[in-house]
A and B are shown apart, each in its own frame.
Chain A
Amino acid sequence: VSVTRVVAFDGTPVEGGAGMRTAIIEREDGSFVTTGRRQRRLHGDDVRRLIEEGYVTEVALPIDAELPDGIVAYRHRDFVFPGLALYDDAQVWRECGDVEVTYLEADAASSMFERYARAAHLLASAALAKQEFDDANRLARRGLMVTPRLGSSPLAARLYGVLLATASVRGAPGSIRRELGIMLDDVRVLEAVSTAAAALVRAKRTVVDARRIDRPILVGSPEAPREAA
């Protein structure tokens, strides 16, 4: 039975990334069309050539396209961490080489990615609190990859706040400070800076965990954790 289906999407995925791409749909009559504002008709020969030459990424198992004008959302298998699959029961994802793909309305994809960005912020903040700075940076960047309307987004400000806090702890905040000044509007820049400041204050208040001290300390001595705290 012939159905309308998504057979490919625009370009090539970013390794370790996630995003939204224009879909290429095969219609029931065998014609091909791209989705999005610039809907273009394509010849079958063109589509085959574009796939073969690498201009577009073929979807391994075509997806039935009930929506006439959706987008393809993709997420690389290493989007969160290498080797860690992202479970999301709100959306059906299809394996497609190194990425998973799904086809949905642009607004729905935007909402879904905003959820991912919020989750990334929570995880990044937790990693920062635990002083796991590499993880905090990675998670914050993943959130920024998928935050809608990034320049004016409070969520983006908080994610940049995590990056700024980790860079400050490492003694080199200049680059991130400059980046967020370029990427965010003025209001969000202030939010990012105050997010970072709050995170740094919280980090200083963190009580030393006696179980992680690598040298013996006599209970009751001046170096004992409780007294130090």
Chain B
Amino acid sequence: MTLRVPLIRVEGKRYSVCPHLTMTPARFAAAAPLECEARDQAARQAEHAFGFQPSLYFFAGIAHPDFGDVVLAYHPEPSTTLDGSSTTFDTGGMHLGLIKGHGLSTPADRKAYLDEDLCALDAWRARASNWIEEHFDSIDVYLEPDGRPNHTDPDDRLGHAENERRAWAVEVRLHGDRGLFDDLAFAVVSQEFLQRALEMSLSTPTDNERLLELLDARRIVQVALPDTDPCEEAVMRIKSYVATQGGMAS
């Protein structure tokens, strides 16, 4: 069975190497595209070390890193002609040496390990489904922010005591910019972010209409005060997505 796990991207950071905040209410209202340019230094270095093109980064089903204002969840079958690839770990963390395991101590070791794990974009769902089934008690365990594999592997990546979520989160990379709301399953934003976006959209009727359409279809969801964490809200919605429409291959 091939799972339908949404592709998650957490936005709203001010990267030191990016000229602007990656997602603002104004950009959200105007449906500004997701840009490869909006990636952190670790991702840039990892691309250089591993021979990747500049990419957009997603985690399958995981709203991680926990920090961000805007959680974007996309349907798992990207309707795009963009090239891409997938691994069963965070490549930025791998490059930085944050992911521990046997044979991961040097850059050359890590490159060899990555090459072994690498999977083409069009095969990512089948590969991820098998990998999750093999290493986790259930899909729900995988989707938990603190979910852990049920056994280690020969390299001890999945069992190493110092490793955390980034060591066992399926990463999907798209090589190019793409539309913010293309294939969007849902977005989770803070209350003030949404109000600001709505306010700014009023000057452009098409932007306002699009936001209202997405809100009406519950494809944009706000985290209403006193709740504070879009990532936390996203976990419940990701699980619900997988439970209601994620089980079967399309």
* Interface of A toward B, CB cutoff 8 Å: 10-12, 14-22, 34, 36-38, 40, 49-50, 52-56, 71, 106-107, 109-110, 113, 137-138, 141, 144-151, 175, 178-179, 182-183
Contact = CB atoms under 8 A, between A and B. Distances in A.
Contacts of A145: 191-192, 195-196
Query: Which of A14, A106, A110, A144 has the most C-beta atoms of chain B within 10 angstroms of its own C-beta?
Result: A14
Interface string B54-71: 000000000001111100
Interface in B131-189: 145
B239 interface: no
B192 A110 contact: no
Given A38-B232, A56-B67, A150-B225, A11 B192 contact: no
Contacts of A71: 228
Contacts of B67: 10-11, 22, 50, 55-56
A20 B225 contact: yes
B42 interface: yes
A15 B21 CA distance: 11
A183 B25 CA distance: 17
24 contacts: A10-B66, A11-B69, A14-B25, A15-B25, A16-B196, A18-B192, A19-B192, A19-B225, A36-B228, A36-B232, A50-B65, A52-B16, A53-B16, A54-B15, A55-B68, A71-B228, A107-B226, A141-B195, A145-B192, A148-B224, A149-B226, A175-B202, A182-B216, A183-B215
A14 B224 contact: no
B50 interface: no
Contacts of B13: 11-12, 53-55
Contacts of B40: 53-55
B234 to A, nearest CB: 12
Contacts of B18: 54
Interface residues of B, number: 41
Contacts of B191: 19, 144-146, 150
Given A12-B12, A55-B40, A55-B68, 9 more contacts: A10-B66, A10-B68, A17-B193, A19-B191, A19-B192, A22-B229, A34-B66, A37-B229, A53-B16
B14 A148 contact: no
Contacts of B25: 14-15
A14 B199 CA distance: 13
Nearest to A142: B195
Contacts of A49: 42
B198 A179 contact: yes
A138 B196 CA distance: 10
B190 interface: yes
B228 A148 contact: no
Contacts of B212: 175, 178-179, 182
A38 B225 contact: no
B145 to A, nearest CB: 6
Interface string B194-206: 0110110010010
Contacts of A34: 66
Contacts of B65: 50, 55
B230 to A, nearest CB: 8
Contacts of B21: 12
B228 A106 contact: yes
Contacts of B226: 20, 106-107, 109-110, 148-149
B208 interface: yes
Interface in B12-35: 12-16, 18, 21, 24-25
